[in-house]
Copies of this chain bind each other. A is one copy, B any other.
Amino acid sequence: MTDQPNTPAVLAVDWGGTWCRAGLIDRQGEVLWQARRPNPRGGGTAQYLALADTLLAEAFGLEGIHADSIGIAVAGPVDPESGTLYQPPNLMPLDGISLKQIWHERYGLPVALGNDANMAAIGEFHFGAGRDAAQAGRPHRSLFYVTVSTGIGGGVVERGSLLLGANGLTAEVGHTTIDTTTSAPPCQCGKRGCLEAVSSGTAIAAYARARLSEGRNRDSALAALSPEDLSARAVVAAAVQGDTFAHAVIARAVEGLAIGLANVVHLFNPDLIILGGGVSEGLTQLNLLPRIRQGIHERLMSELHKVFDLVPSVLGDNSGLLGAAAAAWELTDNL
């Protein structure tokens, strides 16, 4: 008598500042099951860990699907070897915790863990824009993923391997300096002129608010919005409607991205750049990717550096979860 054949899968977790998501994902990157729960507001470490345990128990209790490794993407800096989180601003109850160690001991399974933007890069490589490019006959050697959202982060996959650096803190393109003028805007990290301070969703909204508060651009549709409603999403929506001021606000963010990504191209020489995150969706909707590409090209030292594709994320909100799955599949394959 043998066991029922189970569909092989891995358990992937994407733990952000708002939700803890879990999924069972097959080798092709298909999500066989997923669930999510909101982080316990005001909860401590124990509440956070209990929340995740509930999701994991749910996943491991499902009939017909068998996972033998775990992958985790977390919103914050994490040492990929020890698995320890370092002061994750949006997940502070997990500071100093190693989910890798805890879950490995509890479930007896190998656990891979990484920063969410790094994991998103792996996800796009295995199951998203990277796979699509390869299947379309344009295989690539070096991928740079950048997420432009509330903040800006990134990940590098070089010949199939995630670039980790000394402590898993690579590809922090959001905090590279792209404005050295005296009017460079301050960044939440404490510096001035960071890419994140110019081109993130937060920066787009802040810049629009600041210009409008000066009493100019009263003819813009954005002038009618309350400061709370004046989001990057609202700026994109106005630009889609042809709003001149909104377009100027977006153009500034695009210019910043071009400077930051030109530096990235000089340093990593990627042949595939993937734009993820909500702001990138807006830029794609506005058909601005050719403009970004052109802006990068204008700043490159050689023709050979210009040989890269610039494409939108294929996986969208699932990129972190699917990256965690890809990292888990690597563990399964090495069992």
Q: Identify the A interface with B (CB < 8 A).
A: 77, 86, 140-142, 158-159, 163-173, 175-181, 189-191, 193-194, 259, 262-264, 266-271, 299-302, 304-305, 307-308
A173: chain B residues at CB < 8 Å are 266-267
A176: chain B residues at CB < 8 Å are 262-263, 266-267
Known A77-B304, A176-B266, A176-B267; contact A158-B169, beta-carbon cutoff 8 A: no
Q: Which residue of B lies closest to A264 (CB)?
A: B267
Q: Is there an interface contact between B267 and A167, defined as CB atoms closer than 8 Å?
A: no
Known A178-B177, A178-B180, A180-B180; contact A304-B169, beta-carbon cutoff 8 A: yes
How long is the Cα–Cα vector from A172 to B262 in the complex, in angstroms?
A: 11
How long is the Cα–Cα vector from A328 to B231 in the complex, in angstroms?
A: 56
A-B contact pairs, 28 of them (CB 8 A): A86-B304, A141-B165, A142-B164, A142-B165, A142-B166, A158-B163, A158-B164, A159-B164, A163-B268, A165-B268, A166-B307, A167-B269, A169-B305, A170-B267, A171-B267, A172-B266, A172-B267, A172-B301, A175-B300, A175-B301, A176-B262, A176-B263, A176-B266, A177-B263, A181-B181, A194-B301, A263-B263, A264-B267
Smallest CB separation, A180 vs chain B (Å): 5
Q: Is there an interface contact between A269 and B166, defined as CB atoms closer than 8 Å?
A: yes
A300: chain B residues at CB < 8 Å are 175
A304: chain B residues at CB < 8 Å are 77, 86, 167, 169
Smallest CB separation, A47 vs chain B (Å): 26
A267: chain B residues at CB < 8 Å are 170-173, 176, 263-264, 267-268
Q: Is there an interface contact between B299 and A168, defined as CB atoms closer than 8 Å?
A: no
Known A177-B263, A262-B177; contact A301-B165, beta-carbon cutoff 8 A: no
How long is the Cα–Cα vector from A307 to B175 in the complex, in angstroms?
A: 17
How long is the Cα–Cα vector from A239 to B178 in the complex, in angstroms?
A: 31
Which of B141, B165, B270 contacts A269 (CB under 8 A)? Answer: B165
Smallest CB separation, A85 vs chain B (Å): 11
How long is the Cα–Cα vector from A191 to B300 in the complex, in angstroms?
A: 8
Smallest CB separation, A124 vs chain B (Å): 16
Q: Is there an interface contact between A180 and B142, defined as CB atoms closer than 8 Å?
A: no
How long is the Cα–Cα vector from A141 to B164 in the complex, in angstroms?
A: 9
Which of B77, B158, B166, B264 contacts A141 (CB under 8 A)? Answer: B166
Q: Is there an interface contact between B263 and A168, defined as CB atoms closer than 8 Å?
A: no
Q: Which residue of B lies closest to A187 (CB)?
A: B301
Give the one of A177, A271, A300 with max B CB within 10 A. Answer: A177
Which of B164, B166, B301 contacts A140 (CB under 8 A)? Answer: B166
How long is the Cα–Cα vector from A180 to B177 in the complex, in angstroms?
A: 10
Q: Which residue of B lies closest to A255 (CB)?
A: B180
How long is the Cα–Cα vector from A189 to B304 in the complex, in angstroms?
A: 13
How long is the Cα–Cα vector from A163 to B156 in the complex, in angstroms?
A: 11
Give the one of A166, A167, A193 with max B CB within 10 A. Answer: A166
How long is the Cα–Cα vector from A171 to B267 in the complex, in angstroms?
A: 4
How long is the Cα–Cα vector from A268 to B189 in the complex, in angstroms?
A: 18
Q: Which 6 residue pairs across A and B have the least CB separation, nearest first?
A: A165-B269, A166-B271, A175-B301, A169-B269, A172-B266, A189-B301
